[in-house]
Structure 1
């Protein structure tokens, strides 16, 4: 008997398109770029490649968590605890396993291992699952039954797991996709609560958290959110005052330890899925922005987990090569953008739509390992044979390990993408993806903040014709490598002796935080680094380049002259007395405020949404001493996928991201001292996240933005 994760009803079936990355605003600060280094064997003038990849070891994207690479395990999967499954998990570097499996979580009762209305395979009980967790060296992410369970049932599970059995199960989600309980008109998630609103979910999350932490105060409780820019984000149900995310976080932001999102790009084929990964940075930034808004200072301790991800393409390209590339690209992009754990959906699933992709049979199976099932006359290979997504995860396991620092990298070509980590021992590992189905690409590699030694890099590769992820010694130098079509390549370089962060006497500084933002600038502080420190330096990331914003002999610095409403991502590095830089701190992304003493104010509110479209209302006020007769308001969209389609009470036009608004016929006059205001609205579209604009200019004056 086969059980498949069905696409969530109500999710948009329209093809998704990539979002461009917003460039940081120009700064009135003298830039001081770090030296640009190339390997000794690489002569930039003699570059022969068609693509250049640049890696900056001083631009940190965060630290790889022990739970980073994960998978879902389901109680309807008779092979979930096969001994070879644990071995395959371990070989791929899987660090977290989610149980009891998607929507089944909301009908599952752990104490008697039953799921009324669903199929439970033999040998899939909680203790058997934990045996696989232990054998694979992973940790569990457990889903407490919200749909048909109670806080007491969840607390009893915590007691059994951590007090009786001493499993030390840290992460506990409250329910699966509860927003799919029918409250927004499409229901696939079981929910026995009479009140199916986000407000009720929030109240129950607080009750679950209280009961579970009373048993074990160390457990981490997770609340379910919708992914920004994906249905039902922005949808407000009848009787509710806000959409799911705003309602839930307003109530529980100080009660939870992490939030859980799922991402299925819902494209037509594997290549579109690969392109859609460009949406993720903006969507995950919006999750963090919501946490910052509702949790305040608590936001820094709240993690983001992407507990389900798969391409979910209409063409069913699930077991073939493009989905293997999608796996690596999506999971690593999520980790680089603040996610601590990404769990692939799923370990075993079952044969579906049979097709041919790039000359390979695609079994239409959303699992990463075969379960030996058949679709019509076509049968999958032997049980536990790895499919393409497994090799995508295994490539990430070869790239990184817990504790490594993810660092910025970028490619000059659209068909090649890159990811990089700086390891604790000073080695630099780079993952290169060739997303073309037919063209090979030769890549020239350039480095900032890293100098390669003379030894050839270690090479691991998954390319057509390879029997899995294979060692490929001698196929690359530190300066150049040729990538086969539809391939993954991991290069590991050793640093030149005496160079790099491993040679520095200072360790990485702690995570920076903003402590104030005002007319004098933004003040940052951070925990001191270990070892001998001469001074600390704060750098802003500008793609793969960085620029110095400030330095200090202490653990704080004030950065002046940042434009109002501008977003910045910074790292702090420690420099030792020999001038060597440490590894970068984890990154901090912040948005500057707008002038508190401005002569105008603007309120921007999204009043309705439906996943890929929205309605906004804007109120403009003149709080200065002189009247305004006729006004022009301008602002920029934070994301490339945002647009305006129609408006009222004002004339709204756009040129790319820049939006230009002029007054309507009846609201041209703005009285002084806030005597009146002008309001207008518009219908907009969003392809991906829909963050609110941060800065508005009225007749040339930057206004104070009112949230």
Structure 2
């Protein structure tokens, strides 16, 4: 975050209309079908998953009451010294020239609170006004002198905000403000810091896909910020850093593509061994005070985003921040929203003193949302697929290490209670009432009860509900889960899946089943007695996720393996080929060029068809052909000057593509009905 206490990064956030106050009563909606698939495993719940930010302007940073409140919320990672303050902060003398430093917020005080909370620390070393030597001395103080064992170290905060792309909020005293200069310093910082303690993990700042300035290339740069940083510093880092302030409450659908594109960039640019590089979301907030920053709508969005990010393999999500201060005061869903980006009240008032926040340390609604997520998804659990057929209701699920299962249900409707029916695949719940955790609009605690059954209940408006289930039978004697699968030999319609053998249980393993995830359901696409299987009949140009299950001689099934995700291509040879290139990008749209080459018989008149992968993509304009769009489908018909394509001839056409989420480019094109090779 920017260094000013109450600044909300409004320059890069979306402005949305305020939510309306709900009616006095509401009718129940139609039943919602919830599907939970225990055979479709996603990422494990990490030790550091639930986190938040501390800031050196917060005088209560190191108090026992703060630590105890964060511990009660399940916080497992605390980040310091506070967003953009990191790039003006000098730890040794505890100063931040140009910013306010509160008493009792020094590093040792922070660490005392970290230990009382039972969390891990993450420290942001000063890049903007600091040096590699200063950062190395901090590592020495923390891990050699004090023995704190600080594992995670970031190099700078939002360093792309140094004016390189026209907007400046991040301190940067380097004459060269390019990504190449930042990357060179990341290498120097990493070398100096790991010379003191080689066990630490170093993180580098990236831009978040589809968030400014992602996609921009500044004059003189060899590529985007991410491309240059990863190419230069990829071998020296252990994780990358994203920040996300979506500015709306309905952007969770962006997360899978956001993380996929980040991993794709890492794999392409960071060099050999890049699979070791993790992803940390070290600042997250809903980012829209008009929609409910610290009231229930923001809390529901926070729970949904945390669960989705963690299910997609992010190893920590850190709320901005513990305390922030009063902002734009509005009424949201029957409650005062103070426009405060903190979890806990600062007890501050508006400049005219007309409105004051609740008593200091009063938890805001997002506090309870993160507490709910921490009770729903515990370290050692594994996320599994879950989905609903109602856009106002979201579902997440985890499989517990003890064989149990937990389901998180989020009703975002402000005026409708939804009855839900829950169907389980690969899991049989025990009879009797499950444990149920609930948080409703305006509530000041999470309630716990043992009510209802495993397959149905009613969700109040604006509520979080977690259902915790035991298995119907003891999980003993079953095979262990197969090891992490890998995909090789991927073509347009096939791939070979290989995996380490599972450990046998009470009976020998007789086969392995390969299951393809299709949303919240799975389709078995093959089985084998070995540990490798080539699967076919896959859809070209599509991202596929599979799990492997071991089955023993008595029919007993293991838990699913970790997932492997791969993307099929297009035919290796075809009568046509297409090359799509981006000519320029401005983080919400781009100029694209499509080169069409005919490798078959001469063509006199052609039609090119493709589809946008996501609903947030659209055609702005096109040239050198006649362009039309229907839904997500785009059709391009030759114009009068380029309809003839002799064998070996090419035509190039151009367009403007718009996007408001992660920009996954189309990969499958058909020319006169034939699927082309995409180059």
Distance 1:651 1:299, change over 3 A: farther
Between the aligned partners of 2:597 and 2:149, the Cα distance in structure 1 is: 55
Query: 1:101 corresponds to which residue?
Result: 82
CA shift for structure 1 position 76: 1.0
1:317 aligns with 2:298: no
Between the aligned partners of 2:296 and 2:449, the Cα distance in structure 1 is: 19
Q: 1:700 aligns with which of 664, 669, 673?
A: 673
1:124 aligns with 2:100: no
Query: 1:135 corresponds to which residue?
Result: 116
Distance 1:315 1:14, change over 3 A: closer
Between the aligned partners of 2:150 and 2:559, the Cα distance in structure 1 is: 31
How many residue pairs were aligned? 662
Once the two structures are superposed, the pairs formed by residues 268-347 of structure 1 within 5 Å of their partners are 273-295=248-270, 298-315=273-290, 317-347=292-322
Query: 2:538 corresponds to which residue?
Result: 562
Larger RCO (CA within 8 A; separation ≥ 6)? 1
Query: 2:529 corresponds to which residue?
Result: 553
Query: 1:185 corresponds to which residue?
Result: 166
Secondary structure (helix, strand or coil) at the match of 1:199 reads: helix
Deviations 1:566-602 (A, max 9, x none): 2111112222332222222222221012233334332
Between the aligned partners of 2:486 and 2:8, the Cα distance in structure 1 is: 39
Q: Is the 8 A contact 1:504 1:581 kept in 2?
A: no
Secondary structure (helix, strand or coil) at the match of 1:203 reads: helix
Between the aligned partners of 1:288 and 1:616, the Cα distance in structure 2 is: 23
CA shift for structure 1 position 520: 8.3
Secondary structure (helix, strand or coil) at the match of 2:115 reads: helix
1:348 aligns with 2:329: no
1:651 aligns with 2:638: no
Between the aligned partners of 1:594 and 1:684, the Cα distance in structure 2 is: 22
Distance 1:290 1:170, change over 3 A: same
Q: Is the 8 A contact 1:335 1:341 kept in 2?
A: yes
1:382 aligns with 2:349: no
Q: Is the 8 A contact 2:492 2:569 kept in 1?
A: no
Query: 1:171 corresponds to which residue?
Result: 152
Distance 1:653 1:79, change over 3 A: same
Between the aligned partners of 2:228 and 2:292, the Cα distance in structure 1 is: 36
Query: 1:429 corresponds to which residue?
Result: 406
Secondary structure (helix, strand or coil) at the match of 1:200 reads: helix
Q: Is the 8 A contact 2:52 2:318 kept in 1?
A: yes
Distance 1:489 1:373, change over 3 A: same
Query: 1:601 corresponds to which residue?
Result: 577
1:7 aligns with 2:3: no
Q: 2:131 aligns with which of 150, 171, 179?
A: 150
Deviations 1:300-348 (A, max 9, x none): 3221111111111151622211111121111111112221110000001
**TM-score, with structure 2 as normaliser:** 0.93
Q: Is the 8 A contact 1:3 1:350 kept in 2?
A: no
Query: 2:431 corresponds to which residue?
Result: 454
Deviations 1:511-539 (A, max 9, x none): 22223224783112223333333322221
Deviations 1:93-119 (A, max 9, x none): 111111111111111112222111111
Give 5+ residue unaligned stretches, structure 1.
17-46, 267-272
Once the two structures are superposed, the pairs formed by residues 78-89 of structure 1 within 5 Å of their partners are 78-89=59-70
Deviations 1:228-261 (A, max 9, x none): 1122122222233422223323333333221111
Q: Is the 8 A contact 2:481 2:502 kept in 1?
A: yes
Secondary structure (helix, strand or coil) at the match of 2:85 reads: helix
Query: 1:226 corresponds to which residue?
Result: 207
Query: 1:517 corresponds to which residue?
Result: 490
Task: Out of 435-444 and 342-351, give the one that drifted further.
Answer: 435-444
CA shift for structure 1 position 14: 5.1
Query: 2:517 corresponds to which residue?
Result: 541
Distance 1:650 1:246, change over 3 A: farther
1:612 aligns with 2:585: no
Between the aligned partners of 1:227 and 1:628, the Cα distance in structure 2 is: 43
Give 5+ residue unaligned stretches, structure 2.
18-27
Once the two structures are superposed, the pairs formed by residues 24-103 of structure 1 within 5 Å of their partners are 50-103=31-84
CA shift for structure 1 position 5: 5.0
Distance 1:615 1:435, change over 3 A: same
Between the aligned partners of 1:465 and 1:328, the Cα distance in structure 2 is: 16
Distance 1:299 1:525, change over 3 A: farther
Secondary structure (helix, strand or coil) at the match of 1:485 reads: coil
Secondary structure (helix, strand or coil) at the match of 2:489 reads: strand
Deviations 1:61-107 (A, max 9, x none): 11000010100111111111110221122222111111111111111
Task: Out of 567-576 and 385-394, give the one that drifted further.
Answer: 567-576
Query: 2:21 corresponds to which residue?
Result: none
Between the aligned partners of 1:142 and 1:380, the Cα distance in structure 2 is: 30
Q: 2:504 aligns with which of 510, 523, 531?
A: 531
Deviations 1:442-477 (A, max 9, x none): 211211111111121001111246431121332x32
Query: 1:43 corresponds to which residue?
Result: none
Once the two structures are superposed, the pairs formed by residues 451-530 of structure 1 within 5 Å of their partners are 451-464=428-441, 466-474=443-451, 476-498=452-474, 502-503=475-476, 505-518=478-491, 521-530=494-503
Between the aligned partners of 2:270 and 2:644, the Cα distance in structure 1 is: 39
Task: Out of 304-313 and 528-537, give the one that drifted further.
Answer: 528-537
Q: Is the 8 A contact 1:283 1:689 kept in 2?
A: yes
Q: Is the 8 A contact 1:504 1:582 kept in 2?
A: no
Alignment RMSD (CA, Å): 2.2
Query: 2:654 corresponds to which residue?
Result: 681
Task: Out of 396-405 and 632-641, give the one that drifted further.
Answer: 632-641
Q: Is the 8 A contact 1:226 1:232 kept in 2?
A: yes
CA shift for structure 1 position 10: 4.2
Task: Out of 663-672 and 489-498, give the one that drifted further.
Answer: 663-672
**TM-score, with structure 1 as normaliser:** 0.89
Query: 2:24 corresponds to which residue?
Result: none
Q: Is the 8 A contact 1:79 1:371 kept in 2?
A: no
Query: 1:39 corresponds to which residue?
Result: none
Between the aligned partners of 1:651 and 1:61, the Cα distance in structure 2 is: 43
Distance 1:7 1:383, change over 3 A: closer
Secondary structure (helix, strand or coil) at the match of 1:202 reads: helix
